[in-house]
Structure 1
């Protein structure tokens, strides 16, 4: 029988991959994010993760985890899992 688990409440940093954030996301990624351009348009990014390099598409969120690791997350999953925590800072 499977057991049920709940995520522990942790605060993460994240940015959405879009044209407006293109410069800030490079800084945020500390060398772990490489943007992919096609015909002058931001198409996505390669993200160095603990599991290797993963491709993030335009609009995905790039998350910096509790141990400083990076990984992409689809907007639909991100919005179900996370909420803004700026009131804590």
Structure 2
């Protein structure tokens, strides 16, 4: 059976700490939805609206799409990229 490795790709992401405005600033108003009666935040993804739970990361994909990711999966998949200040 062939095995595959994920290509190294830099992404942008923000961790949801309960501050809706930070997610809206990152993903855009058009890509978010807040259920005010239940105080739940949703991200509009290519697969439909997905709930963003406290602690989840909201990722901007390589084609500009947004989606939530659980912290344990995010931390197992991604590492912070340090850029030199040239």
TM-score over 0.5 (shorter chain): yes
Conserved in 2, the CA contact under 8 Å of 1:17 and 1:44?
no
Task: Please list every run of 5 or more consecutive structure 1 residues that lacks an aligned counterpart in the other structure.
Answer: none
Q: Spell out, residue by residue over 1:10-33, the C-alpha distance to the aligned partner (whole angstroms, 9 max, x if none).
A: 0000000113x4322111111212
Paired residues, what number?
Answer: 84
Q: Spell out, residue by residue over 1:38-74, the C-alpha distance to the aligned partner (whole angstroms, 9 max, x if none).
A: 78xxx64211001111112111000000000001100
Greater strand percent: which structure? Answer: 1
What is the match of residue 7 of structure 1?
6
Q: 1:5 to 1:74 in 2, by over 3 A?
A: same
TM-score normalized by the length of structure 2? 0.82
**C-alpha RMSD of the superposition:** 2.1
TM-score normalized by the length of structure 1? 0.80
What is the match of residue 23 of structure 2?
25
Shift >4 Å, 4+ stretches: 36-39
What is the match of residue 87 of structure 1?
83
